[in-house]
A and B are shown apart, each in its own frame.
Chain A
Amino acid sequence: MNPVFDWHALAPDIILAATVLLTLVASFVIPERDATLVSRIAAIGVLAALVPIVTLANDGSDRAMFDGAYAVDDYALALKAFFLVAAYVTILLSIDYIQEGDYYRGEFYFLLLASVLGMSVMASARDLITMFIALETISIPTFVLAAYRKHDRVSNEAGVKYYVIGVLSSALMLYGMSLIFGYAGSTLLSDISARITSEGAPPLLAVAVFLSLAGFAFKVSAVPFHFWAPDTYEGAPTPVTAFLSVSSKAGGFVALLNILFFGFYGVSGAGTDLWWPVVWVLAVASMSLGNLAALRQTNIVRMLAYSSVAQGGFMLVPFAAAGIAGAKGDFGQADTAFGAVVIYLLVYGAMNLGAFAVVIAAARRTRSAEISSFAGLFQTSPALAVLMTIFMASLAGVPPLAGWFAKFVMFQAAIEAGGAWGVTLAVVAGVNSVIAFFYYAGVMRQMWFKDPVAEDLREIEVPYALTGALAITAAVTLVVGVYPQLFARVGELAF
């Protein structure tokens, strides 16, 4: 039987893949002095890939290919769109950084987009093999990107650390997947789900699930698999750090969504007993330890690294909640939890990219990533200070900024799951969101309450590309915060 190709459904990935190749070729052909052209090609390609997503969304029908291994439904489209927009913002963040730092430009965008292609595929992957390939496509280019400042030893260390951990987690995951295949006799998530429902779950499956969860936990830097993140984030070029902490992490979460909900949720929540305690522990540990470590940071990038660990913990809460509810036989709740994770990802992407955009803009003058270098920013560059305040407050979950809605749907999932475990989880998350405010407020305190220390009191000049990135992220953060209904379609996603 020949596989059927639905060209319309594949169009976003095809355009993206073509752009990836085009940037690579362009970087050889175009002379170095015109190299901004490569970034333009990359940006235009990303935007072009959004076009078929819009037409597909309007069409509205769910499409599946290759025996169901590759699906293009509302969920996949929402995340593809997210990855593309995040990639666009990352390109905006990178243009001046790469140009002024005199790094190789062509390859940078090639590697960046190759990774985005992996993410886009991941959003559609409904099969263990496809997922594995997508995950490696996401990861391998980022190993190189993390070490992109190649004359800087810290950056090299970042790359190597990330590489070693990445390979280790892939190995764990692959081993887990092989055991799952042995049990289910198929790599299709739907087959696995059916098998769990009909046969129940033997202890061996628990080992398999645990191994593959550990692999994903590395990718999303959940405690205790997080220790690579701060060093890698600090060493990597800042735009790459932004990309790692948002897109790459989201890629890991999408993989988790796929495998846990499409694979191990069973047809009726039958498999959830296997994994919810693990996810519960990961969530609580990530929130609490990520926050406590973030409290002690003096470097803003390390602080954001630990904050992203904690935010990852918040994102794990709905998974655990769905599992708790599923184990009780309350399957309807999985939809709420599923939507909650997706909403959290989208909101987190906007606010975290925005925060990094301000960090990059401010570092153009201060040449420092210390939190104390933000002192007096409100007096020297009020606009940047207000924007950073918006992003920090949103990350802390203060209404009416988008972060509150993300936190809200997360709490909602936990409370709806109910029971002692669900309520405890919600309370832990609540206490943690208060602790988190403390370090986000630390940045605000520097900007607003302190006097500037630098002699240079002129307003920081923000280049066009960065201004664009700030405008996009701030607009999403504000508008979604006031009118979250915009994400309604995402919140109503069912799997």
Chain B
Amino acid sequence: MEWSEWALSLAVFLPGVGALIVMLIPRAEEQLIKWVALLTTLGTLGVVIGILADFDYDRSGELQFQVDNRWIDVINSRYHVAIDGISLPLLALSAFVTVLCVVYSWNHFPEPHNPKAFLALMLVLEVGMNGTFVAQDLILFFVFFEIVLLPMFFMIGVWGGPNREYASIKFFLFTLFGSAMMLLSFLALYFKVDVPGGNTFDMVALSDAAGAGLTQGTASLIFAGLFLGFAIKVPMFPFHTWLPDAHTEAPTVGSVLLAAILLKLGTYGFVRIALPMLPDAAEDWAPWIGLLAVIGIIYGALGCLAQTDMKRLIAFSSVAHMGFVMLGIATLTDFGINAAIFGMVAHGLITGMLFFLAGSVQHNFHTRELSRLGGLLVQAPKMGWILGFCAMASLGLPGLAGFWGEFPAILSAFSPAEGLPEETFRTYMVVAAVGTVFAAGYLLWMLQKVAFGTPKPEFEHAHIHDVNAFEWTAWVPMLVLILVLGIFPNLLFGVTDDAVTQIANVFGG
């Protein structure tokens, strides 16, 4: 068999094999378990790097590494996986961040410890994340989309903070509700869309059909189901309430994976499924999506200012940042969608880093209360500087990755796709621009509270560790990428553009 035929399957299922091996190793063999997990994730990253190297960037608009095998004939669902310029960066991000999470966890397993179960769950999670980004069949997509739920549920519920039971069940019920509605829409797409060659779950064929044969009302209803599924996952205002709870209670690594990858499953779903398959309905819905997006930007920012807990603040900042991403998508232009994908990757790296930092701060101070923290730059200068760097990246400082997600998204709202109300979107643009000012406000406020000033009396004589070797190993690659993508944004735009243009062409943008 050709390498290109099994590369993607390997990238998806290798972590699953690792999870099985981890489960078979006795619990006492902790070192062995950690090494197996690390080697599995590294191996997966290796496969993904191989794919990156072999990917034909001149044809990034086309599906590559395509495999289309029989799976469930009864329901006409096939094992169809492939990647194009949109999936590739997200797949790479997922494989990359998981390795760093394993490294970070090495000596940091939260209570009640148990690395065996923790790492097994993380590996299963990776199967779901990688699978979602490569699936080209709606049912396959659905299955992978759901696989991430249980591991994250247990991660939050077992290893989380004091309020973990509430947070974990809330996370699960919200997303499950969304995906139930999404599944109904998938079925409706299957039965109602006229595809040459008969009913199909194939995402490529359904995108080509672009909702042929649907009345406006039906298409709008189907879009509503998809919207619920994806918007809850993103999460967009007003479906965001599970996010602060889940993030705050989750263990550090859980928060990082949640922010870096899981939220992207929702935005990716919009770009990959909702927009191309139902373009007409998307145009009807776009102004409303844009509205919710800018409400999210402002609401998330105001929410941040009201927080007293560092992790909760970062969680609310996610709501705001995902608002920019969704605004970019709502413009239905290639400019906006490119920005959105850049925003996804940048947010994954930056917010992932911020959650790592919050975890390390808590590890040192045993609190995340902003009022009790202070003077990190005095006690742990390196960590303080890194926090400053990430806060700058997050507020969209030019030259760092965050800028290229935020600024073009705002700019794209100036001229949305044809047929969309221009004035409405320009208003959104202004509101979103105001949102960036808020973003600078809350991030600098957080930085000031945590890093500046002098340590509070209670921690004055506390023994605070600065960044240790495991943290360096986990963080440096992310910091480097934040900088590199900030300086050479075309590294990413160049990959995504062709594929995005294809989607945007449907809207005449």
Q: Name B74's contact: one of A379, A427, A438, A487 (CB within 8 Å).
A: A487
Closest to B187 in A: A415
A368 in contact (CB, < 8 A): no
- Bound CA–CA A398/B180 (angstroms): 10
Q: A411-B187, A431-B177, A438-B173 are in contact. Are A399 and B142 (CB under 8 A)?
A: yes
| Contact across chains for B158 and A485 when beta carbons are under 8 A apart | no
Q: A399-B146, A445-B169, A485-B72 are in contact. Are A434 and B180 (CB under 8 A)?
A: yes
Q: Name B158's contact: one of A411, A434, A448 (CB within 8 Å).
A: A448
| Contact across chains for A434 and B173 when beta carbons are under 8 A apart | yes
B157 in contact (CB, < 8 A): yes
CB under 8 Å from chain B, chain A span 396-415? 398-400, 404-405, 408-409, 411-412, 415
- Bound CA–CA A437/B169 (angstroms): 9
| Contact across chains for B173 and A398 when beta carbons are under 8 A apart | no
Q: Tell me the smallest distance from the CB of A443 to a CB of chain B, in Å.
A: 12
CB under 8 Å from chain A, chain B span 57-93? 70-75
| Contact across chains for B75 and A408 when beta carbons are under 8 A apart | yes
Which chain A residues lie closer than 8 Å to B139 at the CB level?
A: 408
Q: Tell me the smallest distance from the CB of B135 to a CB of chain A, in Å.
A: 12
Q: Name A485's contact: one of B74, B112, B180 (CB within 8 Å).
A: B74
Jot down 23 A-B pairs with beta carbons below 8 A, ordered by A: A339-B74, A382-B27, A398-B150, A399-B142, A399-B143, A399-B146, A404-B143, A409-B75, A411-B183, A415-B187, A415-B191, A430-B177, A434-B173, A434-B177, A437-B173, A445-B169, A449-B157, A449-B168, A483-B71, A484-B72, A485-B72, A485-B74, A491-B74
Closest 3 CB pairs of A and B: A491-B74, A430-B180, A415-B187
Interface string of A373-406 (1 = CB under 8 A from B): 0000011001000000100010000111000110
Which chain B residues lie closer than 8 Å to A484 at the CB level?
A: 72, 74-75
Which chain A residues lie closer than 8 Å to B70 at the CB level?
A: 485
Q: Tell me the smallest distance from the CB of B172 to a CB of chain A, in Å.
A: 7
B309 in contact (CB, < 8 A): no
CB under 8 Å from chain B, chain A span 429-468? 430-431, 433-434, 437-438, 441, 444-445, 448-449
Which chain B residues lie closer than 8 Å to A485 at the CB level?
A: 70-74
| Contact across chains for A437 and B158 when beta carbons are under 8 A apart | no
- Bound CA–CA A404/B223 (angstroms): 22
B349 in contact (CB, < 8 A): no
Closest to B143 in A: A399
- Bound CA–CA A409/B190 (angstroms): 13
Q: Tell me the smallest distance from the CB of A351 to a CB of chain B, in Å.
A: 15
| Contact across chains for A441 and B169 when beta carbons are under 8 A apart | yes
| Contact across chains for A399 and B147 when beta carbons are under 8 A apart | yes
| Contact across chains for B180 and A445 when beta carbons are under 8 A apart | no
A141 in contact (CB, < 8 A): no
Greatest chain B CB density within 10 A among A399, A411, A430, A433 is at A399
Residues of B within 8 A of A (CB): 27, 70-75, 112, 117, 139, 142-143, 146-147, 149-150, 153-154, 157-158, 164-165, 168-169, 172-173, 176-177, 180-181, 183-184, 187-188, 190-191
A231 in contact (CB, < 8 A): no
Which chain B residues lie closer than 8 Å to A434 at the CB level?
A: 173, 176-177, 180
A254 in contact (CB, < 8 A): no
| Contact across chains for A418 and B184 when beta carbons are under 8 A apart | no
A274 in contact (CB, < 8 A): no
Number of interface residues of A (CB under 8 A): 39
Which chain A residues lie closer than 8 Å to B146 at the CB level?
A: 398-400, 404
- Bound CA–CA A411/B70 (angstroms): 22
Which chain B residues lie closer than 8 Å to A423 at the CB level?
A: 184
A6 in contact (CB, < 8 A): no
Closest to B145 in A: A399
- Bound CA–CA A434/B228 (angstroms): 14
Q: Name B150's contact: one of A382, A393, A430, A431 (CB within 8 Å).
A: A393
| Contact across chains for B181 and A449 when beta carbons are under 8 A apart | no
A78 in contact (CB, < 8 A): no
A191 in contact (CB, < 8 A): no
| Contact across chains for A438 and B169 when beta carbons are under 8 A apart | yes
Q: Name A416's contact: one of B153, B165, B169, B191 (CB within 8 Å).
A: B191
Closest to A430 in B: B180
- Bound CA–CA A389/B157 (angstroms): 14
Which chain A residues lie closer than 8 Å to B75 at the CB level?
A: 408-409, 412, 484, 491
Q: Tell me the smallest distance from the CB of B146 to a CB of chain A, in Å.
A: 4
A133 in contact (CB, < 8 A): no
A492 in contact (CB, < 8 A): yes
Which chain A residues lie closer than 8 Å to B177 at the CB level?
A: 430-431, 434
19 additional contacts (CB under 8 A) given A434-B180, A449-B158? A399-B143, A404-B143, A405-B72, A408-B139, A411-B187, A416-B191, A427-B181, A430-B181, A431-B177, A433-B176, A434-B177, A437-B172, A437-B176, A444-B153, A484-B72, A485-B70, A488-B72, A488-B73, A488-B74
Which chain B residues lie closer than 8 Å to A438 at the CB level?
A: 169, 173
- Bound CA–CA A449/B153 (angstroms): 11
Closest to A412 in B: B187
- Bound CA–CA A408/B77 (angstroms): 12
Which chain B residues lie closer than 8 Å to A426 at the CB level?
A: 184, 187
